[in-house]
Chains A and B, each alone.
Chain A
Amino acid sequence: MSSILVESPGLLTTVQDLGRPGFGHIGVSPSGAADPLSLRLGNRLVGNAENAAALEMTLVGGTFIFRQDAIVAVTGSDFGPTLDNVAVRHGEAIEVHANQTLRLGATRSGARCYLCVSGGISVPMFLGSTSTHLLSGLGGFEGRALRKGDILKIGAASGPFRKKRIAPHVMKHLSSRNVLRCTPGPQADWFPEFVQGSFYSSRYRVGEQSNRMGLRLEGPPLPLEARPMITEGVSLGAIQVPSGGLPIILFVDQQTTGGYPKIANVISADLHCVGQLRPRDEIHFAKATFEEARALLIEQESMLASPGAIVE
């Protein structure tokens, strides 16, 4: 079996696929790639199924030595990839030869970059997924972020190298946006009109303690009437407002239930943008209806599903 040596892990690098739905009733969150669109496209570039396990890097990428020939793709944010110190293209299939070193640096755009390898990263399945859930230490590579010296096994390559890249119109769609569209949350009616007005007109800054569980926002606190709330299930992208009034966006490694009111929920078609937000990025929220949100998701999926999303 082919393998990769982790020469340097980067800031926070984990194995992720498209997540682990179906176990919310035992408290297991879905996890999965923070920017699933980039993971899916990267896997397609190397001839994998969209759900194959890949590496998700955060803000600063790692350095990887390939023991055998491989086909790889680097997608998501631009971490300035080089192969034996020669710049290689982002968003394209790349041929790597045995003993070559692929190095990713600090981000030049958003928070996360994906390294997809033909054959996928081979780690044990846990509840139907290879995704890492850091808090519980479950899934992925030994349930943890990669460390220097780790050796990752690679599955059998699915075919010969073919020159492929992500189509320009899809790259454009993936580029970072600072407006997140939202549908009303299940407790939206707990927030009077003027508070909602403040929520949708304020600029928020992504806080330093943000991670895959949630993004803490800094900005004008929302006034909130103290009111008892019975803990209930929380959805991906829910925007909860704790008593301090500063919103938190619940994300892929989220807790499965929570006891704070939710003012809004990021629409599914914009969740990949949340995965690319860095600490200190400035964002604001825009209102969407449920019909608009669904139409945008269907439109995005049909763009991704079209054969023209990947060009030769």
Chain B
Amino acid sequence: MATANDTVDFRFASDQSLLVYFDQKISPEAHRRIRALLHLLALEPVAGVRNLHPAYCSVLVDFDALKFAHGELEAILHGYVSRLDEVRLPDPREFEIPTCYGGEHGPDLNEVARLHGISPDQVIHLHSAAAYTVYFLGFVPGFGYLGELPETLRTPRLASPRPTTPAGSVGIADSQTGIYPFAAPGGWRLIGRTPFAMFRHERENMSLLNVGDRVRFVPISSAQFSALLEA
């Protein structure tokens, strides 16, 4: 069921999907190859491939089983994978995300600080000093998985997820950070909130963030938050 060549490992996920693993850990090289595969598949789409779900080190390829079987798709994808080194990727776009830390907007900030034995201001400083890569978008529309958090901030998820998390909330979980585009249930620890709308269907680029972008968080006051709030 799983076959390997030098570079990727294929695994059947369902009768109509195939997982392509580039690594078994989060790595910049796997990320580059995933971006390259998405880029190639966007330029030369495969008829019968219905959906692509990129993640940290894998891409789930959802296909129409009436068109082909797993083995045939594997053969086609091998052809793409063998060309990944030739792909010239565009330079990453850079974003600054204004974020109001703590208080009502970041209800877990103090707890995160306590868990690591540092002050809330140090959490804010560490979180906003780092530059993050958008490894992929997933979970809900426009939710970017940003990595990687500075070692000091790595924090497990809440034992029991919140039934709802306000849109714009900035959370951390393990080595990742991310922004909730919609009010959604969630177990990430919330340290702040951005007034930016991360996903808007009427905007040309619906999702503010895309795979491969670089992101920095910029601390703002709660007055600035209110002034910048995008409904």
Contacts and interface: CB of A to CB of B under 8 A. Distances in A.
B201 interface: yes
Contacts of B11: 186
A233 B210 contact: no
Nearest to A133: B141
Interface string A21-55: 11111111110000000000000000000000000
A160 to B, nearest CB: 33
Contacts of A231: 55-56, 138, 145
Contacts of B59: 233
Interface in B1-31: 1, 11-17, 19, 24-26
Interface stretch (B64-72, B74-82, B101-109): B64-72
Interface in A198-240: 230-238
A256 interface: yes
A26 B206 contact: yes
A136 B52 contact: no
A88 B45 CA distance: 46
B55 A26 contact: no
Contacts of B12: 183-184, 186, 290
Interface stretch (A65-73, A113-121, A262-270): A262-270
Given A184-B1, A297-B66, A22 B137 contact: no
A290 B60 CA distance: 17
A27 to B, nearest CB: 4
B53 A257 contact: yes
Contacts of A230: 24-26, 55-58
Contact of B54 (A23, A25, A267): A25
Interface string B25-56: 11000000000001000000000001111111
B213 interface: no
Interface in A243-260: 255-258
Contact of B143 (A27, A185, A237, A266): A27
Contacts, number: 148
B76 to A, nearest CB: 17
A26 B207 contact: yes
A233 B15 contact: no
Given A25-B38, A26-B210, A235 B184 contact: no
B142 interface: yes
B53 A256 contact: yes
Interface in A86-137: 126, 133, 135-137
Contacts of B13: 185-186, 233-235, 238, 262, 265
Contacts of A27: 137-143, 207
A267 B16 CA distance: 9
A298 interface: yes
Q: Which of the listed residues B19, B59, B201, B207 has the most CB atoms from chain A within 10 Å of its own CB? A: B201
B51 A186 contact: no
A84 interface: no
B112 to A, nearest CB: 20
B199 interface: yes
Q: 3 closest A-B pairs (Cβ-Cβ)?
A: A233-B60, A233-B53, A257-B138
25 contacts: A22-B51, A24-B62, A25-B211, A27-B140, A27-B141, A27-B142, A135-B140, A135-B184, A138-B201, A184-B12, A186-B11, A230-B24, A230-B57, A233-B13, A234-B53, A236-B14, A236-B16, A236-B62, A255-B140, A256-B139, A257-B145, A265-B14, A268-B15, A268-B65, A294-B69
Interface of B: 1, 11-17, 19, 24-26, 38, 50-60, 62, 65-66, 69-70, 136-143, 145, 181-182, 184, 199, 201, 206-207, 210-211
Given A30-B51, A183-B14, 7 more contacts: A28-B141, A233-B17, A233-B58, A236-B62, A257-B145, A267-B14, A297-B15
